[in-house]
Amino acid sequence: MDMTTASALRRLRLVSAPEAVSFLVLIVCSVLKRTTEFNAVPVVGMIHGVLFMIYILFWAIAWYFAKWSLKRAALYAVLSVLPAGGFWAERMLRQEVEAGVIAARARQEGVVSK
């Protein structure tokens, strides 16, 4: 795995958990808006919207550099619209980056060939 691909996956990983948290907070705020006088939906909605757009941008960049199959790219896209999917995406991306780094080190040390 080259540095460009690793950094693209790392960026997507770093934004996936905050995006998931903002989605869950938005759901809680939506329920509170309808059951109480508390209305934080405009603020939390804006924060979530910005994080979601950043996630989609980083997802497209990661798809381009990592050369994912359509199935794998679709999985990460679907995870972005599930309330806790960002946590699962973060975990999968961490494993993917770690596996890529280990493989790159093994190739560099001559343990395996390309």
d(CA 11, CA 106): 24
d(CA 91, CA 98): 11
pLDDT at residue 108 tops 80: no
**What pLDDT sits at residue 112?**
63
CA atoms within 13 A on the CB side of 90: 13
Q: What is the pTM of this model?
A: 0.84
Are 17 and 58 in contact, with CB atoms under 8 Å apart? no
d(CA 80, CA 99): 22
**CA of residue 93 relative to chain centroid, distance:** 8
**What pLDDT sits at residue 100?**
77
